[in-house]
Chains A and B, each alone.
Chain A
Amino acid sequence: MSPMNENDARELLPWYAADSLEPEERTAVEAALAASDSLRAELAELQVMHTAVDDTAGEAQWNPALITRTLSRIDALEAEQASQGVLDRFGNWLGQNLFAGWGGVPTLAKAAVAVQFALLLAVGGSWLAQPSEPGTYGTVGLDPNAAQIKLGFQPGIDEATLRETVRELDGRIVDGPSALGLYTIELQALEKQQEEEIGALLADLLARKDVIRGATKGY
């Protein structure tokens, strides 16, 4: 690489300070730095800027339990896709079998039959999309007004501790464990709109780091 002029080096100084230049660029900037007082002064300012930007990192707290929100969306997406998959397979079957030899039947009549099958399929598809993994808790008899939270327990927590924790919450497990080991707990003493109380409860739970690895509102 030919020697870099001072202006080109100045343009690259922020990324030199942040250590993200390619090795060749880095070498060229270092050569320019060695020859220029003003570049070195600017580098000192940029290093202050780098440190200061890092220091502003603690302004808001990252909530690791946010993942449960995304996983709930993924669950819903997969349920929808499972349902759609059944619909598609059935549609293909209809095309290959039911309508085979129906060349002379009016299109409207075929459409009416297809709609009836589709309705049947939608009902069947939603039934098939329900979680049916053995050994998990199912969603039966949910109280529509009761608050729900999702809890992840620390690895190695035994079942007795898990049940005791749920009992202390005056709750019951209505779903889980998910693929990530999260349980959905229905809180019998709290309603969905009691957000402040739910927030305080979640904060208490998150403080119990020996038992709880994550806690967030259920959705």
Chain B
Amino acid sequence: MSERETGSASEREAQWIRQIADGDRRAFEKLYEVYGPRIFRFAIRMVRDEGKAEEVVDDVMFEVWKSAGRYEARSKPSTWILGIARFRSLNAIRGKKLETREIEEDAPIADPTEDAGEQLDRLALAERIKGALNDLSVEHREVVELTFFQGCSYKEIADIAGCPEGTVKTRMYHAKRRLQPILAAAVVGEPL
């Protein structure tokens, strides 16, 4: 789900938010369908706990319902909502302290068009990347997640994280440096 958010999608979502401000539950349900899974994915990457991630989704969407009337469309709906999600995730991390546990993992779904060797390589790479991502600091991890999974530009990430654009680029630089040995090995086809 890395495709860029189109202008029309943003306009449609901004319209839903205006309707939500008027108490429209159908608009809320539509927005929830789009953002529930996105927030969950972001939160689980941040807090690494399925139950806590569900709490974050619940809190974020409840906040969206309460604050829809204050949304002024100065930023895209995704920027506004992911900004709330980031704030709530950081609170969840602070509340959770060190009591992290590994998420029970379902086996990733293999692409039937790939041969078995390619599938194993991809899954092994995903595993290693996931391990390396989990070792990153929260600030570095969120930049990678927002860039590569949520499709946010560096300017949007700066808005979401409330930091200068240069800081976003610096965080990405450090994240890349940590992941670089794994990525380089994958590019040249070394065994993972």
A residues bordering B, Cβ < 8 Å? Answer: 11-12, 14-15, 17-22, 41, 44-46, 48-64, 66-67, 69-71, 73-74, 77, 179-180
The digit string for B1-13, where 1 denotes a CB below 8 A from any CB of A, is: 1111000000000
20 contacts between A and B (CB under 8 A): A14-B147, A14-B172, A15-B147, A15-B153, A18-B151, A20-B152, A20-B156, A41-B187, A48-B125, A53-B144, A53-B145, A55-B108, A56-B133, A60-B44, A62-B36, A67-B29, A67-B32, A73-B58, A74-B28, A179-B25
Nearest chain-B residue to A73 (Cβ)? B62
B105 part of interface (Cβ distance < 8 Å): yes
State the Cβ distance, A79 to closest chain B Cβ, in Å. Answer: 14
Q: Is the CB of A45 within 8 A of B36?
A: no
Q: Is the CB of B25 within 8 A of A70?
A: no
The digit string for B155-192, where 1 denotes a CB below 8 A from any CB of A, is: 01000000000000100110010011001101100000
A50 to B148, CA, bound (A): 5
Residues of B within 8 Å of A60, CB to CB, are 40, 44, 50, 53, 103-106
State the Cβ distance, A45 to closest chain B Cβ, in Å. Answer: 4
B96 part of interface (Cβ distance < 8 Å): no
B residues bordering A, Cβ < 8 Å? Answer: 1-4, 25-26, 28-29, 32-33, 36-37, 40-41, 44, 50, 53-54, 57-58, 61-62, 65-66, 103-106, 108-109, 122-123, 125-126, 129-130, 133, 144-145, 147-149, 151-154, 156, 169, 172-173, 176, 179-180, 183-184, 186-187
A62 to B57, CA, bound (A): 10
Residues of A within 8 Å of B103, CB to CB, are 59-60
Residues of A within 8 Å of B156, CB to CB, are 20
Residues of A within 8 Å of B154, CB to CB, are 12, 15, 20
- Interface SS of chain B: helix, strand, loop or mixed? helix
A58 to B126, CA, bound (A): 11
Residues of A within 8 Å of B3, CB to CB, are 19
A219 to B129, CA, bound (A): 38
Q: Is the CB of A45 within 8 A of B183?
A: yes
State the Cβ distance, A89 to closest chain B Cβ, in Å. Answer: 19
State the Cβ distance, B139 to closest chain A Cβ, in Å. Answer: 15
Given contacts A18-B147, A44-B187, A53-B144, whether A11 and B58 have CB atoms under 8 Å apart is no
Given contacts A15-B153, A70-B62, A70-B65, whether A62 and B37 have CB atoms under 8 Å apart is yes
Q: Is the CB of B36 within 8 A of A49?
A: no
A205 to B138, CA, bound (A): 37
Residues of A within 8 Å of B133, CB to CB, are 53, 56
State the Cβ distance, A75 to closest chain B Cβ, in Å. Answer: 10
Residues of A within 8 Å of B130, CB to CB, are 52, 56, 59
A18 to B129, CA, bound (A): 17
**A-B pairs, 8 with minimum CB distance:** A55-B126, A45-B183, A52-B129, A53-B148, A20-B153, A179-B25, A56-B130, A62-B37
Residues of B within 8 Å of A12, CB to CB, are 154, 169
Residues of B within 8 Å of A61, CB to CB, are 106
